[in-house]
Amino acid sequence: MSGTEEYDVAVVGGGLAALSAGLFAASSGLRTTVVTEIVMGGELINLEEVVRFPGIPGPVSGSELAGRVEAQALEAGAEFVFDDVTEIAKDGTGFVVRGPDTEIRSRTVVAAMGAGRRRPGLDGEGDLEGRGVSYCGTCDGPFFKEKSVAVLGDHEFAGREALVVARYASAVTLITRRGEPDLSTATRSAIDGSDRIRVLPRAEVESLTASDGVLGAVRIRDLTTGEVSALDVAGLFVNDGVAPRTSLLRDLVELDPDGRVRVDAGMRTSVEGLFAVGELRSDFAGYAIAAAGDGATAAGSARRLVRS
């Protein structure tokens, strides 16, 4: 071994999966650190309301939920480090986790780097980010008061984004490639009850049109007829699925064809001592409660390994 292992468990990430892994690992007496960029909470920080979290029937904001788990993890004894991890590597019987200001040696690592919004890769998308193109309705919705906007996406979270943005915008077009977006009953009926939201089925955004450096319109292709038309919008909110953040693990563990880490039921990857949880692992259920469950499961597997 090239260095002393300072920790039993180093968790990389700061979302609900990471915080839960930190909570359960520290609670079982393992020396535990959680390393994340800037702030704890991950995707939850962007959610005004988290729904379908068992035991919390009423609305709870993502920051409140994350804050509670963060406090529990700290109380249990997990140590927090704020850094952007640039390397996770094997180091003797354990691992080394490095960032610009950090070098941590640990017997086990729980990878919990989550996922970022998938970008459709439209021409000019990068230039127009922050100038009409947004990946976060909660953060940017208030900039579009009484304006027309579009939301791009096929699933529940796109529908929820449309509802958030409709609190500000005068008109919201939910553009979906499907005949019907795949929504929960509650979201579908809230959209049906809104006079600001319309659903545009079997359509996709083909290109963006800028005027004076900001988004002015999107060109939309009708997937049934092939016809292309322009829709004047000041904002396009992209909620078109997520892309796992697995670049640090690419040369270390087995990934599935979507770039997600393959794990077994104990969140074990193909490398002993390295676990993967939450949005970046294959077959993830896509909900906050599942991220928390993954963290608890990985902590249990790590405990069994450390104590074996």
Ligand X SMILES: Cc1cc2nc3c(=O)[nH]c(=O)nc-3n(C[C@H](O)[C@H](O)[C@H](O)COP(=O)(O)OP(=O)(O)OC[C@H]3O[C@@H](n4cnc5c(N)ncnc54)[C@H](O)[C@@H]3O)c2cc1C
**Shortest reach from residue 52's CB to ligand X, in Å:** 5
Name 33's bridge partners: 10, 79
| Closer to ligand X by Cβ: residue 84 or 192 | 84
- Which DSSP string do the residues of the chain spell out, in sequence order? --S---EEEEEE--SHHHHHHHHHHHHTT--EEEEESSSTTGGGGG-S-B--BTTB-S-B-HHHHHHHHHHHHHHHT-EEEE----EEEEETTEEEEEETTEEEEEEEEEE---EEEPP---TTHHHHBTTTEES-HHHHGGGGTT-EEEEE-SBHHHHHHHHHHTTT-SEEEEE-SSSS-B--HHHHHHHHT-SSEEEE-SEEEEEEEEETTEEEEEEEEETTT--EEEEE-SEEEE---EEE--GGGTTTS-B-TTSPBP--TT-B-SSTTEEE-GGGBTT---SHHHHHHHHHHHHHHHHHHHT-
| Closer to ligand X by Cβ: residue 38 or 228 | 38
| Closer to ligand X by Cβ: residue 62 or 132 | 62
| Closer to ligand X by Cβ: residue 64 or 206 | 64
Whole-angstrom distance, CA of residue 147 vs CA of residue 141 = 10
**Shortest reach from residue 213's CB to ligand X, in Å:** 27
Residue ranges that bind ligand X, judged by CB under 6 A: 12-18, 35-37, 42-44, 47, 50-53, 84-85, 112-115, 157, 160-161, 239, 245, 278-279, 286-289, 291
**Shortest reach from residue 118's CB to ligand X, in Å:** 10
| Closer to ligand X by Cβ: residue 104 or 113 | 113
**Shortest reach from residue 173's CB to ligand X, in Å:** 18
**Shortest reach from residue 16's CB to ligand X, in Å:** 5
**Shortest reach from residue 38's CB to ligand X, in Å:** 7
| Closer to ligand X by Cβ: residue 14 or 94 | 14
**Shortest reach from residue 84's CB to ligand X, in Å:** 5
Written as six digits, the tokens of 295 are 């963290």
**Shortest reach from residue 226's CB to ligand X, in Å:** 30
Whole-angstrom distance, CA of residue 177 vs CA of residue 2 = 52
| Closer to ligand X by Cβ: residue 217 or 252 | 252
| Closer to ligand X by Cβ: residue 30 or 165 | 165
| Closer to ligand X by Cβ: residue 35 or 215 | 35
Distances (CA, A) of 203 to 69, 225, 231, 244: 40, 10, 12, 25
Q: Which residues contact 307 (CB under 8 A, 6 or more apart)?
A: none
**Shortest reach from residue 198's CB to ligand X, in Å:** 20
